[in-house]
Amino acid sequence: MENRNKIAFVTGGSRGLGKDMALKIAGKGLDVILTYHSKVDEAKSVVEEIKAMGRRAATLHLDTSDIKSFSSFTSALKNTLNEEFKGDGIDYIVNNAGVGGYSPFPEVTEEMFDSLLNIHYKGVYFLTQNLLPILNDGGGIVNVSSGLTRMSVVGSSAYASMKGAVEVFTRYLAKELGPRGIKANSIAPGAVMTDFGGGHLREDEGLQKFVAGATALGRTAVADDIGGVVAFLCTDDAGWVNGQRIEVSGGMLI
């Protein structure tokens, strides 16, 4: 079976950056399948917004830390593609789902480390591996990294280490999947006002002023600043962009 319209698969697409990515991708004319961890009503709302734009959309539950569930999830995704999209493949994978985890290095526990490892690196690695057979040739992968791989902030050693690993993984994807015409890139947002990490930045005006002062464009980012870059990478216009880390921080700490 062949689907005429391209499809993007976005993890963590129910809110925050993932929601904006999903909507911006739909705005480029793609259909979207998004996942949620616990916010099913919010995920359904995003699906309805996308459908109102004239595109097809669906949502599935996924715990990106549960690597053993990826095989059954992939089967569920195949069923969704078959039943709702009349196709059998996806064109873009956007690995966005994540959680915050901030603690000074001496206080990082093995439990905290393993949780971040499973969600931000091991999950990204093996979910992508599971989805590879249904990723169409000529498609693309976008992995969400962080500005913290470039700028060091106390309390972020574990989280940033996982994101650094994702950036290396992305370059290897670009190399190994190149023969199939599949591109792989990572984006690295700076500080963004969402509910990520408990919404600390969104609620702390003093921190917002600090971030704005450290940013060349003079303000703190919102989700709307990020999604368009991901959407661009899910188009043919980005067909020659491959193996790159694209920082989307407004020029923070340059």
Catalytic residue among 14, 24, 121, 145: 145
* 36 a catalytic residue: no
Instruction: Kindly list the distances between the CA atom of residue 40 and the CA atoms of 23, 33, 63, 73, in Å, as whole numbers in the listed order.
Output: 17, 13, 13, 16
pLDDT at residue 201, rounded to an integer: 64
pLDDT band at 198 (very low <50, low <70, confident <90, very high): low
Catalytic residue among 19, 24, 163, 183: 163
Does residue 38 surpass a pLDDT of 50?
Answer: yes
Sequence-separated (6 or more) residues with CB below 8 Å from residue 157: 105, 108
Q: Assess whether 159 carries a catalytic annotation.
A: yes
Q: Which fold has domain 7-248?
A: Rossmann fold (3.40.50)
Q: In Å, what is the CA distance from 119 to each residue of 45, 47, 254?
A: 24, 24, 29
Of the listed ranges 1-15, 70-84, 93-107, the least confidently predicted one is 1-15
Query: DSSP character for 218?
Result: S
Domain map (residue ranges) of the chain? 7-248
Among 72-81, 108-117, 189-198, whose mean pLDDT is lowest? 189-198
Structure token pair of residue 1? 């079976």
> Who's near 209: CB < 8 A, 6+ residues apart?
none
Summary mean pLDDT of the chain: 94
Is residue 183 part of the annotated active site? The answer reads no
Active-site residue flag, 38: no
Active-site annotation holder among 19, 159, 161, 183: 159
* pLDDT for 148: 93
